[in-house]
């Protein structure tokens, strides 16, 4: 359980604000206004015990002192943009880089590093809003973003994003929670994953797309049938470049609705299942290849591979690849960006 540490102040000099919601069945989820961060998901098992399913820090201050984006809302553009460059209608924009020459998750002062305004809260829901000024991290236009979290009685954590801009701008919001359905301290690669995706996007050692969408067949990135993350770990050059799984898969078209799951994840001990539903076209799977040194819930540090992130989003560097078979990530004045993801948990 996260220690509130109310005496701690956020980087802006004001206290962190924590909000906990709970359903009738005893699942609790905790959030923080700094980064609109999802801090915790405590889930009742079939035997009556509760299990923490998210990686997290001991105190709110711990989230400021880490670079793994634990549970944060990331934007304006999640994932990487090559050479920190955008071009639309003949106009080029230089973004602020924060991973070599590239930009990752919206830049060095992305949405994860901001205080969001608490819009509303109830017993089972909480909403946040953020205003991002023209030129923020290099992006064009003033932007208003909202994220709405809701916990249902059937253990669905629903996340809804919406945003508007007054100049054309790419938008790609996601949550960067790391899951370990076996609880703290276990090797997340022992979990079993299934993805309803036929193609993935190859990347170079910097995580930048380096080839066209590629069939998963006959590769270690084939999760069409359930298998552990460990089974084919580092089997092929695609993974070796980035020290594990850190790739985007393009979902089958039937996945982009609330009726058809896009992914399933099972705990190694067979006690918990998580299903992912999303309107987003793709999923980034990251096996925590560089987690070592990130502060954990006990005041110590995580090791590599102790959590897996399942980030629903557009494909990385999409603003520079209009040819990819997905909706446009560019939002224009008068339009609204909307995206929804549901993580549903089951006790087995």
DSSP string over 247-263: EEEEEPGGGSSSSS-SE
Which helix H or strand E contains 39, and what residues bound it? strand 37-44
Asked if 79 contacts 176 with a C-beta cutoff of 8 angstroms, the reply is no
Compute the distance between CA of residue 126 and CA of residue 31 in angstroms, rounded to an integer: 8
Residues 300 and 308: beta-carbon distance below 8 Å: no
Catalytic residue among 176, 238, 247, 264: 176
E strand or H helix that includes residue 121:
strand 117-121
3-state secondary structure 141-165: CCEEEEEEEEECCCCEEEEEEEEEE
**52 is a catalytic site residue:** no
Question: For residue 127, which of 164, 175, 77, 161 has the smallest C-alpha distance?
Answer: 161
Sheet holding 192-195, edge to edge: 117-121, 125-132, 143-151, 156-165, 337-347, 272-278, 263-266, 192-195, 227-228
109 counts as catalytic:
no
**DSSP symbols for 277-339:** EESSSEEEEE--TT-TT-B-TTSSBPPTTS-EEEEEESPTTGGG-TTSSS---EE-TT--EEE
Residue 279 CA to residue 342 CA, distance in Å, equals 9
Task: Name the nearest CA neighbour of 284 among 140, 97, 77, 102.
Answer: 77
Catalytic one of 146, 158, 238, 311 = 311
Rounded to whole angstroms, how far apart are CA atoms 54 and 200? 25
| CB 25 within 8 Å of CB 343 | no
- Active-site residue list: 176, 311
């Amino acid at each position: 359980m996260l220690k509130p540490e109310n005496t701690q102040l956020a980087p802006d000099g004001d206290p962190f604000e924590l909000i906990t919601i709970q359903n009738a069945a005893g699942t609790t989820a905790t959030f923080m206004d700094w980064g609109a961060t999802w801090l915790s998901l405590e889930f009742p098992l079939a035997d009556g015990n509760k299990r923490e399913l998210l990686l997290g820090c001991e105190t709110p201050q711990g989230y400021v002192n880490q670079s793994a984006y634990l549970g944060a809302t990331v934007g304006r553009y999640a994932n990487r943009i090559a050479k920190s460059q955008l071009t639309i209608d003949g106009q080029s924009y230089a973004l602020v880089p924060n991973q070599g020459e590239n930009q990752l998750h919206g830049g060095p002062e992305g949405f994860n590093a901001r205080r969001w305004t608490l819009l509303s809260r109830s017993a089972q829901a909480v909403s946040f809003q953020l205003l991002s000024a023209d030129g923020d991290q290099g992006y064009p236009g003033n932007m208003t973003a909202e994220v709405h979290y809701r916990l249902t009685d059937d253990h669905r954590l629903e996340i809804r994003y919406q945003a508007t801009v007054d100049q054309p701008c790419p938008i790609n919001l996601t949550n960067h929670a790391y899951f370990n359905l076996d609880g703290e301290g276990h090797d997340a690669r022992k979990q079993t994953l299934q993805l309803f995706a036929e193609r993935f996007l190859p990347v170079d050692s910097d995580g930048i797309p380096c080839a066209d969408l590629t069939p998963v067949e006959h590769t270690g990135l084939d999760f069409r049938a359930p298998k552990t993350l460990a089974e084919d770990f580092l089997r092929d050059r695609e993974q070796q470049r980035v020290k594990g799984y850190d790739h985007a898969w393009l979902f089958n078209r039937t996945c982009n609705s609330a009726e058809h799951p896009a992914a399933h994840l099972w705990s190694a001990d067979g006690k918990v299942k998580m299903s992912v539903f999303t309107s987003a076209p793709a999923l980034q799977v990251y096996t925590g290849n560089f987690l070592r040194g990130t502060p954990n819930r006990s005041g110590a540090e995580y090791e590599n591979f102790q959590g897996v992130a399942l980030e629903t989003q557009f494909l990385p560097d999409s603003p520079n690849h209009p040819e990819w078979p997905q909706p446009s990530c560019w939002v224009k004045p008068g339009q609204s960006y909307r995206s929804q993801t549901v993580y549903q948990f089951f006790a087995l």
